A = this chain, B = another copy of it.
Amino acid sequence: MAAAPLEFYFDFYSPYGYLASARIDEIASRHGREVIWRPFLVGATFALTGARPLVDIPLLGDYSLHDMERCAREQGVAFQLPENFPKAALAPSRAFYWLVDSQPETARQLARAVYHATFAEGRDGTAADLVADLAEPLGVDRQQLLEGIQRPEVKERLKQETEAAVARGVFGSPFIFVDDEPFWGNDRLEQVDRWLATGGW
C-alpha cells in the first residue's frame, strides 16, 4: 500500500503558507509522497486562539515582515506583501473548492498562481476578478468561475473545510499533517523532511 499523502492546510493570504507552498510538493515527492492541498480561512481560528494577524502586532509585526523577507531570500523566491494585508481570502479559496473535485490538478495550479500574484507580485489575491484572470490560462472559463464561487454549495464547502480543519486542531497557516503528526509553520518543513526520512522520533 502506498504511503498516505501529506495534508497541507494553508490560507491564501498567509505569507508563510506561500513560502511553504513553494517547497512542500518537492519535499514530499523526495520521499515518495503526494500532497493534498487544503485551503481554509485562518481568520476563523482567531476567535478560538485570540491570535491576530502577525503584522498588526507591535514589535512582532516589524520582526515578522523582516523574517518573511529573509526566509524568502533564503528559499530563493520572490516576496512582496500585498497592500491592505491581511484580508479574508474568500474568492480564491472558493474557486479552489469549486474546481478541486473535477479538476484537482487545475485547482492546484490556480492555487500556485494566486499565491504568486499575491506574494511575488503584491497583487490583491482576494479579488474575484484577479482569480478569474489567473484561471483563464489554465483553461477555466472566467464567467463560469465567477458564477461558481457565488453558489451556496461552494460557499458552504469552504465553511465546512474550515470547520473540519479547526476540529482537527489546525490553528495556523501553513499546517501540515504527516500520517496524523501535526507540524505548524513553514519553519517546520525541515523537520517534516527529517520525519519523512526517518519515520519519526
Contacts and interface: CB of A to CB of B under 8 A. Distances in A.
A172 B73 CA distance: 23
B74 A191 contact: yes
Interface in A60-105: 60, 62-63, 66-67, 70-71, 73-74
Nearest to A47: B58
Given A58-B49, A59-B169, A74 B194 contact: yes
Contacts of A169: 59, 62-63
A59 B48 contact: yes
A171 interface: yes
Contacts of A147: none
Contacts of A74: 191, 194, 201
B60 A182 contact: no
A55 interface: no
A14 interface: no
A25 B140 CA distance: 55
The DSSP consensus for interface residues of chain A is helix
A50 interface: yes
Contacts of A59: 45, 48-49, 166, 169-171
B66 A58 contact: no
Contacts of A73: 201
Interface string A129-156: 0000000000000000000000000000
11 contacts: A45-B59, A48-B58, A49-B57, A58-B171, A60-B171, A60-B172, A62-B169, A63-B182, A74-B191, A74-B194, A185-B187
